Structure 1
Amino acid sequence: MQPVPALLTFLLLLPLVLHGQPQLVRSELSSVDESGTLQCVVHLPNNSIFLQQLDRLQTTVQELIGKYEQELSRAKEFAHAPEDQDSQALEMNRMQESRNPGVISSPYDHPAFNLLRLELEGAQELAAQLKAEGGNNGAADLLHQLQSQVTNASLTLKLLADSNHRSFRALRQEVEVLEGRLSECEREKEQEQSSRDPGLPLAPGSCAHEGLQKVGRPLVLKLNWRGFSHKAGAWGRDSAPDPASSLYWVAPLRVDGRYFDFYRLHKSYDDLVLLKHYEQWKMGYGDGSGNTVYRNFMYFNYYGTNDMAKVDLSSNTLVLQRPLPGATYNNRFSYAGVPWTDIDFAGDEKGLWVLYATEESKGNLVVSHLNDSTLEVEQTWHTSQYKPALSGAFMACGVLYALRSLSTRQEEIFYAFDTATGQEHHLSILLDKMLETLHGINYCPWDHKLYVYNDGFLVNYDLTFLTLKPRMPTPLIKRPFGVRAPPKSFKSNKPS
């Protein structure tokens, strides 16, 4: 008799046992021979019916064994696949992540997980087919338990992969948050170090800096000379970079917060504090709190029009009146919480400016550089900021700085527009305030201060700029052909 493998012997006998016929078949197992082959002797009955059943069972078992060996062969081939398949899969995952940063490949697609999954699927299929050929006795219960264990193992594998997937995603998000906090700490450290070591102080009227860094604490000088009910107005110093005198001016509006009729001039800071040695003049045709003083002339919006007006402070004489092309007026696009500021004048180291909005700009803030002698518009820039959403703005070294209100006690300088380059920048410089509304904001290049009319009180702020630091020369970087990174610019108009 030919030797029968132990597994085949078990499978030959198992169906008969499952059908409840143990007395019909008797097997005798001999010892292992010298070649290591197990010799098995099986005594079969002379009943042809049982022989036919046994033949069918043997055929079925052989088919199952063939399928199992086929699945096992596939698993072995997959297990011994070249290692470059893993590297290719990892490379594809990296490419997919670079194209879709938000999509993370599942660990369940890894070759090791796939191998285990295939083996479990093959075992589950084989157990199901063996169970289908069996009965309802104890061996069938054993196969049922085996099939349940294989199914549970498959579910456990998938849950493990999904858990790793979620853990990896959470870990990656946590790392990104930590990297963001680290970058923020580095920026704060740089700012703190710059504030501790600001370098040489800026000379009066100098632009040798890299932009605004911070705003000091508010210094409340006093209440305006007309009283607490005059909440709207403006005040400051001559905004020329080298004024001929240390003139201070205060211009409260009427109680209605619109009409500009009186102003006072003080020859020094002490005179302003002590309310002495001043000149008081009646204007009678000013509109809003957007006025400023530049080279001993006051510039403001003429009442009820879009005209720009120029008054000689030495004689209180209106010397020039000229319309501002396209500018809206009569409270069309004023600052948030500050009505009647359609036209806002500003002076700095670069000259005289006017800030306004037009219907063409759809209310966005427009910046124009003026000829301070003729009030002719020399050049215009259009920004991306909606003027009624801003609480105020000022110019410093040709850079527009815009503010917005954060609360009743704090403002934020959040936006800057450089007229020299046409580039905009977003920043966050906090500015504390004593009362809710900042009505008139004027910058003085001579002392680098902001002069603010805060609900009737005269307040000023020290400004700190980032000083220029010597830099080592860097080699030119050769860009690939056709690759450029142009700055974001805005439309600039020059009058023809």
Structure 2
Amino acid sequence: MSQSNIFIFLILIPLTFPQSAKGKDCVCDLKNSDPVFPMNKLKKVETNALQCTGTITSEKMTELDRLVLGLQQRIKQLEDNVVMLEKEDNRNIYGAVSLRIIELEIAEIQDLVDKLNRTTKNYQHLSLQTAAQLEDMKDTMVELEKFDNMLVIKKDRDNQRIKRELEQCKEEIKATAPPPTVPPARCGLGRLVSVAGPRTYSLTVYSTSYPYGAWGRDAKPAPGDENKYWLVVLSSSNVYGHFVRQYGTLSTLLLGIGPTDTYISSSNPTTNTIQGSNMVMYGNMLYYNCYYAYSVCQFNMATRAVSTVALPKDAGYNNKFPFAHLGTTYSYTDMDFATDEFGVYVIYATTSNFGNVIISKVETSNPPALNQTWSTSLHKRTVTNTFMVCGVLYATRYVDKDTEEIFYSYDTKTNEERYDLKMNIKKMQTNIEFLNYDPRDHLLYVYSDAYILTYELIFQ
């Protein structure tokens, strides 16, 4: 064995060289001076990590979000109702009714506060327990890292940091232009930048019986009807509806108190029946897809008279061009109706435009008429919903069961199309069957798997 080889072995591994009695043979004893790796500590860290993952779930956090949102909405509505009660004559019977509604709301608020307190205490205990476990795991991992003689963990950390910085650099380079800017002269809101909420989240009086439906406020109410809310459920096969239910305030809708039903027809389905879940209320008129026809129906809530206007003969109807995504289609949503600061629109598709979205302005005369029309390159079956704001059409698509994304816009003033919008809507249920913008309060009204919700649009 050469002298240089002996020198190398002495550097890497401590060796001893006992000589044989005759001095002819060289025997090497290999001794590892490093301590034994504590495998039991690593297994303990893995077990604690799995327990933490199983204890803290998105469902539990969502429960807390729902309670807080519900409490905020109830308090706001209570304030509105108290102001209304102060204006009423105490000798009027309606004052007693309003007082009873306020009592019910206070009881509901107290119930929500109690639930929130219980949930918060549970989360505080869970947070303390989890923090202690995390601190223990951190100390153990620091101890185990001492066995990393080759600095693999440190190098991996450095690599991950460099990757993150590189990705951030790429995003900054590829940063897209902002969504279309709406000139202030048109409605003064600026550009849409995000969606906040939900602000309202509740089941209707029907509970989960009717997953398809629509609700909202009249975008152009008659004097005295400014606080009214309307609700339509598709009570026949999730396709047809034949009456409109109205409530005096949001709180009475949420509590199911004192509704007024106005019937379009005596049963489903028949002439003038509502087909599909897309409809809007404007000027005390309900606009919707007429039963089994490529026509817009205008239902007068006061006289119960129905007037119609036909779309082009090649327009999709009766489930030909519904909203859809890869997982499902939203049945009989060939026509979508929208309101904004400028009036009423119908959104549909035609075979001559290859199934792409068409926007037509609806003149709210009696009978109604179609006015200016715009053709887009957006295929209707790639969309889950549309709405209008200040003459700009926005389209949404399904991302997953928790997220809907506003990804597209079409400006009817400039004819500019955008496919690169990235504004997420946080869903509370899997599907959104109805979505519309109210120009009076700048909220999106949503009907989602039997739940009614509102979201706030944020403008820059």
Quick one: which of 275, 279, 283 aligns to 1:287? 275
Q: Is the 8 A contact 2:242 2:264 kept in 1?
A: yes
Q: Is the 8 A contact 1:240 1:348 kept in 2?
A: no
Query: AA paired with 1:278?
Result: P
In the alignment, the residues of structure 1 paired with residue 364 and residue 356 of structure 2 have an alpha-carbon distance, to the nearest angstrom, of 24
Paired position in structure 2 for 1:228: 208
Q: Residues 404-423 of structure 1: matches in 2 within 5 Å?
A: 404-423=397-416
In the TM superposition, what is the alpha-carbon distance from 1:255 to its structure 2 partner?
4.8
Could you say what secondary structure the match of 2:278 adopts?
coil
Paired position in structure 1 for 2:230: 249
In the alignment, the residues of structure 2 paired with residue 450 and residue 420 of structure 1 have an alpha-carbon distance, to the nearest angstrom, of 22
Paired position in structure 1 for 2:251: 270
In the alignment, the residues of structure 2 paired with residue 218 and residue 286 of structure 1 have an alpha-carbon distance, to the nearest angstrom, of 27
- Is the aligned partner of 1:329 residue 2:317? yes
Quick one: which of 173, 177, 180 aligns to 2:170? 180
Of residues 211-220 and 291-300 in structure 1, the stretch that sits farther from structure 2 once superposed is 211-220
Query: AA paired with 2:382?
Result: A
Paired position in structure 2 for 1:207: 187
Q: Residues 135-150 of structure 1: matches in 2 within 5 Å?
A: none
Paired position in structure 2 for 1:387: 380
Could you say what secondary structure the match of 1:427 adopts?
coil
In the TM superposition, what is the alpha-carbon distance from 1:261 to its structure 2 partner?
1.6
In the alignment, the residues of structure 2 paired with residue 176 and residue 220 of structure 1 have an alpha-carbon distance, to the nearest angstrom, of 40
Quick one: which of 343, 349, 360 aligns to 2:341? 349
Percent of aligned positions that are identical: 34
Quick one: which of 432, 435, 438 aligns to 1:441? 435
Q: Deviations over 1:197-245 (max 9, x none)?
A: xxxxxx9x98213321110122343212333121001111112399752
Query: AA paired with 1:181?
Result: E
In the TM superposition, what is the alpha-carbon distance from 1:184 to its structure 2 partner?
6.7
Paired position in structure 1 for 2:351: 359
Could you say what secondary structure the match of 1:273 adopts?
helix
In the alignment, the residues of structure 2 paired with residue 397 and residue 240 of structure 1 have an alpha-carbon distance, to the nearest angstrom, of 15
Could you say what secondary structure the match of 1:291 adopts?
strand
Paired position in structure 1 for 2:389: 396
State the structure with more CA Rg: 1
- Is the aligned partner of 1:455 residue 2:449? yes
In the TM superposition, what is the alpha-carbon distance from 1:186 to its structure 2 partner?
11
Query: AA paired with 1:318?
Result: A
In the alignment, the residues of structure 1 paired with residue 408 and residue 187 of structure 2 have an alpha-carbon distance, to the nearest angstrom, of 19
In the TM superposition, what is the alpha-carbon distance from 1:330 to its structure 2 partner?
0.6
Gaps (5+ residues) in structure 2? 1-162, 266-272
In the alignment, the residues of structure 2 paired with residue 402 and residue 224 of structure 1 have an alpha-carbon distance, to the nearest angstrom, of 26
Paired position in structure 2 for 1:145: none
Paired position in structure 2 for 1:90: none
Q: TM-score, normalised by structure 2?
A: 0.57
Q: TM-score, normalised by structure 1?
A: 0.53
Quick one: which of 296, 310, 315 aligns to 2:298? 310
Q: Is the 8 A contact 1:233 1:252 kept in 2?
A: yes
CA-atom RMSD in angstroms: 2.8
Query: AA paired with 1:403?
Result: T
Q: Deviations over 1:160-206 (max 9, x none)?
A: xxxxxxxxxxxxx999866433347899xx99xxxxxxxxxxx9x98
Gaps (5+ residues) in structure 1? 1-172, 192-202, 467-496
In the alignment, the residues of structure 1 paired with residue 248 and residue 353 of structure 2 have an alpha-carbon distance, to the nearest angstrom, of 41
In the TM superposition, what is the alpha-carbon distance from 1:283 to its structure 2 partner?
2.5
Q: Is the 8 A contact 2:213 2:450 kept in 1?
A: yes
Query: AA paired with 2:170?
Result: G
